[in-house]
Amino acid sequence: MKRIDYYAPGTLSEALELWALHPQALPLAGGTDLLVQMKERNRPVEALLSLKGVPEVHVFEANGTLVFGAALTISQITSHKSVCQHYGALADGAMVIGSVQIRNMATVGGNICNASPSADTAPGLLVLGAQAVLASQSGQRIISLDEFFLGPGKTVLKPGELLKEIRIPRPAGRSGSAYLRHTPRVSMDLAFVGVAAALTLDPAGRMVSVRIALGAVAPTPIRAIQAEALLTNKLPDAALFDEASQIAARESKPIDDLRASSDYRRHLVSVMTRRVLSMALARTEEMYAS
């Protein structure tokens, strides 16, 4: 059996120091992706850098800006009432990942850093305006999640740099967001298409802020910028949502593969964008009523 070194730092600075000394090591949080890749896909691994004992990547704050560490499990994040109440698109995406057992181990940080185009938390984080806090021995930098993904399995993380935490601004008073995906099975499957939307209404009911994100239909999760522009500063109605959904479908860049054709994925984008916009709108009204 091949030897694998295992490092278990107790602080973020120790983790970064160890990684600088052992750059071949791979960060390990929940391990629900990495360990499968090691066991079933024969991914070569020389060393693992465990983040389980690093308190800086296990923080959770919901006073104003939502801040959660990259190594918090999905179950830990979705168990907080404030997440489900104010950050619906994130909660929707997190709660459809895998099984209960997987969610008890998997992390949102890992879901993001794995950089799969079909990552279920990515569209929700994009529409919620999330920022990633990246730490290295030279300090920290904060980037918008719009800039984080470079391609399948590729991110802006530099050698020796870890995702420390994710920050999401508190949505405005009359806001709502939602995420939907299409899979062959209800759970334990990858999304053919995932769509998230976030809306903010002004006192007159106009959509002063609109964000739409698409997953599994491009090399990275993407924003549907043209569809967003059509809806901004308009009063919501079914015809407008239908037009925006068609634009979002044209903005997608799906491929043909064994799981679905590109035409089918575009059709799903149109149908699901319309539905998720209606869900987000309903949640803005629920928040306003409460």
- Where along the chain do its domains lie? 1-52, 175-289
Which pLDDT tens digit goes with each residue over 221-250? 999 999 999 999 999 999 999 999 999 999
Cα 24 → chain centroid: 26
State the DSSP string of 229-285: HHHTTS---HHHHHHHHHHHHHH------SS--HHHHHHHHHHHHHHHHHHHHHHHH
- Residue 185 — pLDDT band, cuts 50, 70, 90? low
May I ask the CATH class of domain 175-289?
alpha beta
Same CATH topology for 1-52 and 175-289: the answer is no
289 pLDDT more than 60: no
Report, at the CATH architecture level, how domain 1-52 is classified: 2-Layer Sandwich (3.30)
Which pLDDT tens digit goes with each residue over 40-65? 667 888 999 999 999 999 999 998 89
